[in-house]
Amino acid sequence: MSLCISDLSLTLMDSHVDVQMTRQQTLTLISMASVNFSSMICYSILGPFFPNEAVKKGASQTVVGLIFGCYAVCNLIGSLILGKYIVQIGAKFMLVTGLFVSSGCTIVFGLLDRVPAGSAFITLCFVVRSVDALGFAAAMTSSFALTAKIFPNNVATVLGSLEIFTGLGLILGPPVGGWFYQSFGYEVPFLLLGCFLLIMVPFNIYILPSVVADPSKDSFFRLLTHVKIVLICYAIFTLSAGLGFLDATLSLFAIETFNLSAGYVGLIMLGLSLPYCLASPLLGYITDKYPATRSWFMVTGGFATAVGFWLLGPVPFLHIPSQLWLLVLMLGVIGFSLGMTAIPTFPEIITCAYNHGFDEGLSTLGMVSGLFGAVWSIGMFYGPIVGGLITQHLSFEWAAAVQGALAFLAVSISLHRVQAFSCRFM
């Protein structure tokens, strides 16, 4: 991790604004990197084995989708409330409390295999995942807001570079979770990673700087009165819906279609997270140095995402048989296009907000971070549930095609609006 932080420091020193990082900026980078990594590795371990384990416990494919989806609903509610009141609560307190709650829920989730199959198991899955989502919302909302506050001129560069650690968490979570599950059973992955997340609590209490700010009277509704922000939010929704769909359905599809073990499914998921992890720092640097490229990155990334989902199955009317190499290749396309689309969205919303008279402070950044998290959560709710329903009643191939259509719709709308609704002219 220290090597990655050093590389990130060099990236920022080469940026067009900041020549040398302050102590506060360095400590914030270390803290945010630890939060991104630990949170995402705990989040991503479920993919390779939990859907199959839940089915054994009496859950249908639709219920599995709802278990993933309830996480998104509670994340949505938490992001909006916590983003609005981040100044009153305190960004540092919100972050460390969120980490503590998530660590406890991860440990408890690992003990659910001792619960009898049926309604008891399903109910507790909903309860634990819901509370975990509130903790995750607290940690990530404050993380985004603090990063934008302390690096106001390099938001995309810093966020893109920090996505290395998000990507590492997503990369390591599925294979580590799948391997521990195969070797030691259901409990061990959650207990180990929950304890790891718990260690991050005192670590961040010690190194994370405190930020003092004044509350703002602005609201989420005022943000959503601007068409360009709404369009960006829809692009964010399509991305998270696609990822939520893959979380809930990809492992079962790979196991049934290619007769793979949970460990190999975890390795397949590297095809999604590795390109995203590697591309995000460069994409963030480019969109910070050349802000005019942000809209075109989002359009190009959205089109690549659509193609990736259409060929993932592939879509039935193409009459192309499902092949493992094609599945891995399209996951790579989706991962890279996710970076192209997602990295520019957060700084672009901030720019739009400031250009429309929002206060340049932590309160506005908290609202933007909360809005981003809320929209992301809507997609994470829609993706597993609707994708699970389509998969159950039709097929994985048709469900993936629908996700591709959502991304293509975002591209179609953006192509007509990218010039007319540029922030500098609104």
Say how far apart CA 322 and CA 316 lie, in whole Å. 10
End-to-end CA distance of the chain: 42
99 contact partners, CB below 8 Å, separation of at least 6: 35, 38, 39, 135, 139, 197, 198, 200, 201, 204
**Span 118-136, pLDDT tens digits:** 888 888 889 998 898 888 8
Measured distance CA(381)–CA(365) in Å, rounded? 24
Angle at 400 between CA 68 and CA 247, to 5 degrees: 25
Q: What is the mean pLDDT of the chain?
A: 76
Please tell me whether the peptide bond between 116 and the residue prior to it is cis, using omega within 30 degrees of 0.
Answer: no
Q: What is the mean pLDDT of residues 185-190?
A: 81
CATH fold match for the domains 29-212 and 214-425: yes
Residue 9 is predicted with a pLDDT of: 43
Reported confidence tier of residue 348, pLDDT bands at 50, 70, 90: confident
Is the pTM here over 0.85, yes or no? no
pLDDT > 60? residue 18: no
What DSSP state is assigned to residue 317?
Answer: G
Hey, what CATH topology would domain 29-212 get? Growth Hormone; Chain: A; (1.20.1250)
Helix (H, G, I), strand (E, B) or coil at 359: coil
- Using the predicted structure, report yes or no on whether residue 3 has a pLDDT greater than 50: no
Give the residue carrying structure tokens 């690096």. Answer: 151
User: In angstroms, rounded to a whole number, what is the distance separating the alpha carbons of residues 249 and 64?
Assistant: 9
Whether 419 has a pLDDT exceeding 70, the answer reads: no
Q: Identify the pLDDT of residue 1.
A: 47
CA distance 349 to 225: 12
Task: Give yes or no for residue 21 having a pLDDT over 70.
Answer: no
Ranges of each domain in the chain: 29-212, 214-425
pLDDT digit string, tens, across residues 249-293: 777 787 777 777 766 776 777 777 778 777 777 877 787 777 777
Categorize the per-residue pLDDT at 422 as very low, low, confident or very high, splitting at 50, 70 and 90: very low
Angstrom CA distances, 262 to 68, 269, 317, stand at 18, 11, 30
Q: Among 132-136, 163-167, 173-177, 258-262, name the most confident range.
A: 132-136
CATH for 214-425 (3.90.1150.10, 1.20.1250.20, 3.30.1330.10, 3.65.10.10)? 1.20.1250.20
Nearest to 171, CA basis, from 50, 72, 300, 36: 36
- Residues 378-404 have a mean pLDDT of 81
CA distances from 93 to 53, 82, 129, 243, 360 (A): 35, 12, 22, 29, 22
Instruction: Give pLDDT tens digits for 68-117.
Output: 778 778 888 888 788 777 777 787 888 889 889 988 988 888 888 888 88
Q: Of 393, 414, 390, whose CA–CA distance to 402 is shortest?
A: 390
Q: In the prediction, which pLDDT does 262 show?
A: 64
Residue 120's SS3 state is: helix
Dihedral sign (CA 354, 357, 361, 367): negative
Q: State whether residue 276 is helix, strand or coil.
A: helix
> Which residues contact residue 183 at a Cβ distance below 8 angstroms, ignoring those fewer than 6 apart?
none
Residue 161: exposed, middle, or buried by beta-carbon count in 10 A (0-12, 13-18, 19+)?
buried
In this prediction, residue 382 carries a pLDDT of: 82
Write out the two tokens for 321.
């048989």
Q: What's phi and psi for 224, nearest 5 deg?
A: -80, 5
State the DSSP string of 232-253: HHHHHHHHHHHHHHHHHHHHHH
Burial class of residue 225 in the structure, from the number of CB atoms within 10 Å of its CB (0-12 exposed, 13-18 middle, 19+ buried): exposed
pLDDT bucket at 425, cuts 50 / 70 / 90: very low
